[in-house]
Amino acid sequence: MLTILAAGSVFFPGLFLLSKQCLKSIPALRWSEGDAVIVSARLVSSVQAVMASSAGYIIASSCQDIIEDQHWLTSTYIMFAVPYFVYDIYAMFMCYWYKLRVKGHEEASAAPQHMGSAVRSYLHREFLMVLHHVVMVTVCFPVSVFWRQGKGDYFQGIMFMAEVSTPSVCLGKILIQVSVELRLKDQFGSSSHVHATN
């Protein structure tokens, strides 16, 4: 159990850092820190969503009795994915932080100058999303792993499949960001440091 939690704790932040480093260092890209953070966060969200919806399909399709049937992947994936929600609170804050710093962004003039005020502003603006993530870790995780006692894996699989649209949403935002980035580079030249944050 702890091994699976540890694997998730390494996998999601590790994928984020690897992706960010690649986007910043690959010669054809060389994106700014802010752009790399935002795209990397979306990439990790997409990977988690593909994994969750795939696990959900496998679990739901293997259950004949929707109450009693069990699948080993249910508790295993829950344990693996719980660290994602903790990581994602941090990733969402980093995206928020860099979005506020983008020159010309509608909120740039109101951007908090200190980390403490930025955290307060982030929690005020993204309260429901942060609350969702906190509830997933503090309520849904113990209920799903311990309280249900192996019953209702089918319904857990159906809930995992709710993530199926996330990769499309993230890909759309990434393509918009890349398109804007390329247009700005064409307009201002490749030597300019431009931001294409959405």
CA dist list (Å): 119 to 124, 171, 187: 8, 27, 34
Q: Does residue 67 surpass a pLDDT of 70?
A: yes
Which two tokens mark 144? Answer: 């799903």
Q: What is the C-alpha to C-alpha distance for residues 49 and 51, in angstroms, rounded to an integer?
A: 5
What per-residue confidence (pLDDT) applies to 117? 85
Taking alpha carbons only, the member of 88, 86, 106, 108 closest to residue 97 is 108
Return d(Cα 131, Cα 110) in angstroms, integer. 24
Query: Per-residue pLDDT tens for 91-149?
Result: 999 999 888 876 545 444 455 567 788 899 999 999 999 999 999 999 989 998 888 88
pTM, two decimals, is 0.82
Q: What angle do CA 100, 101, 102 make, to 5 degrees?
A: 95
Q: Span 147-172, mean pLDDT?
A: 89
Distance in angstroms (rounded) separating the CA atoms of residues 192 and 188: 6
9 vs 190, more confident: 9
How far apart, in whole angstroms, are the C-alpha atoms of residue 90 and residue 97? Answer: 10
Question: How many residues are given for the chain?
Answer: 198
Cβ neighbors of 124 (< 8 A, separation 6 or more) are none
Q: In the chain, pLDDT over 90 holds for what percent of residues?
A: 55
Whether 47 has a pLDDT exceeding 70, the answer reads: yes
Q: What is the mean pLDDT of residues 55-77?
A: 93
